Structure 1
């Protein structure tokens, strides 16, 4: 009987150990389950936080958009106000006046520049209009030609530089191939105007021209620039005649 009781005690002890193990295993299983659930909740929480951040960004961008729209509206209003009162814009009047004056000196024709506001509320700079010299003074299509456009560009640049000469502004300009295909009289008058304007207003003017495009005198001889006015002479004889003094 004692042996049986001892054996029962051992078995009961073992039973308790086994029950304890079973309970512990169940706890681990529950722990893993809750860990997975917690991970899911943390993932959802991160998504929600990211969603909130995106919402904040959208709100900020919407506020920026409203500010920009207000600035655009104010700018459009300002531009329209300027457009409706160009007579009060002294610089604009001076540029227009100089442009017409310089063009008449070179081309012996009347022209004017203008601008307007298009349907998109942007400034639309129209090509300068050239007037005929007859009594009807009609608009012509001369400004559509390449040679006329080159002269118009030169005249416009000079008018801008002179207008802003007393302010902190560019004091130099570069024009390429301006004399090409121009009438000899136009070449002479244009160079005379350039010399007068640059000397009077201390503007650095850079012009590139090939020998065959130089104006000629009454004896058909090329009228060369003075040596003081020539910065660089180029040729294709050797690398020293290139712009940078060497060939690529």
Structure 2
């Protein structure tokens, strides 16, 4: 798939752009010297990349320039003509105002203008956004990465300046690694499905651990506690049986028996339940008070910095700042947590007072109920037995609740062990896969490594290294760096220009590795020559032309002053066929959109 043409329903405000098969140059000119030190993005070099992304059905985002300045662009409708792998052409129609209704037109001739085409002449007219993505995905049919949506692929082919900070992770991938690492593994020829399964199993285990943690911290050994509780329940049930038999043998007259039954069946049961409630509340209050008394973690960054200084190790100010921000954040979280705990503590104390007051009332009533029985030795035994009966029932109820908690935790622990076994199998398969692909000299990964190194070597006269391995958590890690001729990593990749060079070298290497597959055969590189010296610029240009000869369409943006030193009096750096768009700072006529700066 290649780009063919980009145009709009307002050609006087947005001139049509025709893309060539080889090198396509978007050239920015600074005609006013005072603008050399200013941001020149208002010309539209980077904006063009964002517009292409929009036409490939990027989700509407409030920071996207079309919607950030919606009133300015709402009347625009854009058309992107692309060449499919089978030789057909597909035109995508998308308006700014009704951006979720997409139209498509298949055709055999390139460089068409369908801006006046009526609705009935489109093959698919104003389909829903999700339908449109599915249709486009089917037409593009990237056979090397079938299980991935085409949007995942194109993200690496239309990088903006924000996407040059990391070779493998785009700016939009700020969330979990699950959202991009499995794809990257598949792209490089590893088994991405193992990475997905690995993250899913780790997530399941983490959720179980969160369930277990609040309960397990109260017991040192769950199995020991369970055995102890079972023994206590056995003894208490035996005591309960003996007491109930003793009480059943009392032979009071019917009236007395009625009073006793009322006493045992009503008051004593209520008292036992309230004793359980009181015990539970007191236990919860104790735990909260313990939590509130936990000391905060102390960390003195100045002492650490002094220690590093004495050891002659640089301790950057940024790390000091990051640690202090972390500590401040920790204090804020701790204070917020204490506030919630204090609220819960006050609520529990109120509940405890209410339960104790009700207990007092019930006990007084109970005393009245049994006072009529007198103070004989038999009655005393009866009263004592009833007191024990209520206490034992409360103990048994509490012990059964403890047993339920431990049984649940043990079940969760069992599930965790089973998940861990599955995770171990997955990570073992991942390790085997990584080792096999790394050792296979004919693998896609080996090809990408070779092409990447060739690009870096030609531009910088250094070795370019791509490594893929598993970290301590068993997850994929990807790294790209420069090495000197001795094979020692350098720090050049830390600078933005060099990171950008790593990025487009990687993207070119991937495109070449898949050159004989149905994989996109275009690449958009924004600011390709920025801040490079003349030798590196010349070498970069040679690489770009070499890769266009292989059949890869390359669109680059640059400022004329960045490449002027590459041209001679008789030979300009770019031919007229290569320059597809010239932008300049001399009024709105020189901008991508011929409108005032927004």
Q: Shared fold (TM-score greater than 0.5)?
A: yes
Cα contact 1:215–1:222 (8 A) shared by 2:
no
CA apart distance, 1:119: 2.3
Q: TM-score, normalised by structure 1?
A: 0.63
Task: Report what 2:351 is aligned to.
Answer: none
Query: Within 5 Å, which residues of 2 pair with 1:143-158?
Result: 143-158=493-508
Offset at 1:213? 0.7
Match of residue 540 from structure 2: 190
Q: Give the one of 457, 469, 473 matched to 1:104.
A: 457
The 5 Å alignment of 1:1-248 reads 76-85=427-436, 86-88=438-440, 90-131=443-484, 133=485, 136-200=486-550, 202-217=551-566, 223-247=572-596, 248=598
Structure 1: 4+ residue segments shifted above 4 A: 68-75, 217-223
Contact in 1 for aligned 2:468/2:479 (Cα 8 Å): yes
> 2:567, 2:573 within 8 Å by CA — same for their partners in 1?
no
Aligned-pair CA distance for 1:191:
0.6
The structure, 1 or 2, with the larger RCO (C-alpha pairs under 8 Å, 6+ apart) is: 2
The 8 Å contact of residues 130 and 140 in structure 1, kept in 2 or not, is answered as yes
Residue 190 of structure 1: CA displacement?
A: 0.6
1:168: how far off? 1.2
Q: Which residue of 1 is the match for residue 229 of structure 2?
A: none
Distance (whole Å) between structure 2 residues aligned to residue 75 and residue 242 of structure 1: 53
Backbone CA RMSD of aligned residues: 3.0
Cα distance in 1 for partners of 2:425, 2:572 equals 54
Contact 2:481–2:490 at 8 Å: present in 1 too?
no
Residues 116, 125 of structure 1: 8 Å contact kept: yes
Unaligned runs of 5+ in 1: 1-61
Offset from partner CA, 1:145-192 (integer Å, 9 cap, x none)? 222212111211110000011111111111111211101011011111
Cα deviation digits, residues 70-117 of structure 1 (max 9, x gap): 987665444322212121261011010111111111111122110211
Structure 1 residues 138 and 156, CA gap change in structure 2 (3 angstroms): same
The structural deviation recorded for 1:197 is 0.9
User: Contact between 2:481 and 2:489, CA under 8 Å: does it hold in 1?
Assistant: no
